[in-house]
Structure 1
Amino acid sequence: MNLGIIAAFAYGILAIVGGIIGYVQATSIVSLLSGSISGLLLLLAAFFQLQGQTWGSTLAVLVTAALVVFFAFRLAKTRKFMPAGLMTILGVLALAVMVNQMMAFR
């Protein structure tokens, strides 16, 4: 298991937990659905990477990049660090690790 897989797994869990917290605090069904879907996609990407499927890393990078863009726009709009700032920073870190691992294996 490499760091890219761990990053995809961790960011996926964080997305799911964040969606649940958004639902509990603000009764936001959109947060619950988007957090669950993106988190599950990241968990699936990590699982497929473990199975040796190279497209799993591409899926993880695409989902993470989409989340980073979304949360960066949300941060610019709301100017609130939680949750947008935290998810943007952690997403950029996870994305850097994932891309680094992808380049190392080429």
Structure 2
Amino acid sequence: MPSVVPPGEGTTDNMAAGTDWPGFGYAALVAAGGLLGYVKAGSVPSLAAGLLFGTAAGIGAYQITQNPKNVWLSLVVSGTLTGIMGMRFYNSRKFMPAGLVAGLSILMVGRLGVKMMGKPHES
């Protein structure tokens, strides 16, 4: 006998309502930046780092979509990129790409910090 799931409790409804769109967008931009660095400058390290961090950020966004309290992977990825790209921007003074990624990363860190400090959800 098939089980009946009450409305609003299925994974599709929860995912649509709580999808971490900013997190997925950030992940896509990081991955696209690595790809762009490879295409424009032939930088294999840029491609590898962009795809690695973009994938990790995407997994983090998926985790937040499944459980809004599970921010740790996203926080580690955005915090690491804030540090790395912030130092590159500080040393080079070039906004693209280091300043842009550092700025977006620090915004993600702030957003995740606010999410962590928000009201606790009842389970």
Q: Equivalent residue for 1:26? A: 41
Inter-CA distance 45–23: structure 2 relative to 1 (3 Å threshold):
same
> Which stretch of the first structure deviates more once superposed, 13-22 or 91-100?
91-100
Alpha-carbon distance, 1:75 to partner: 0.6
| TM-score normalised by L of structure 1 | 0.88
Moved over 3 A (4+): none
Q: Structure 1 residue 62 and structure 2 residue 76: aligned?
A: yes
Query: What CA deviation, in whole Å up to 9, does each residue of 1:15-52 have, x standing for no partner?
Result: 00000000001100100010001000011111122222
Q: Distance in 2 between matches of 1:85 and 1:41?
A: 20
For residue 73 of structure 1, the aligned residue among 79, 84, 87 is 87
Q: CA deviation at 1:105?
A: 4.6
- The TM-score with structure 2 as length reference comes to 0.77
Task: Report how many residues are paired.
Answer: 103
Matched, 1:48 2:63: yes
Which of the two has higher C-alpha Rg? 2
Matches of 1:48 and 1:30, distance apart in 2: 27
Larger mean Cα displacement after TM superposition, 87-96 or 61-70: 87-96
Higher helix fraction (1 or 2): 1
> Paired residue for 1:84?
98
Distance 1:53 1:96, change over 3 A: closer
Where do 5+ consecutive residues of structure 1 fail to align? none
Percentage of identical aligned residues? 31
Give secondary structure in 2 for the equivalent of 1:18: helix
Q: Which amino acid aligns with 2:87?
A: F
Q: Is the 8 A contact 1:20 1:35 kept in 2?
A: yes
Pick which of 42-51 and 12-21 moved more. 42-51
Which structure is richer in relative contact order (CA contacts within 8 A, separation 6 or more)?
A: 1
CA RMSD of aligned residues (A): 1.6
Tell me the distance in 2 between the aligned counterparts of 1:45 and 1:93.
15
TM-superposed CA distance for 1:54, in Å, is 3.9
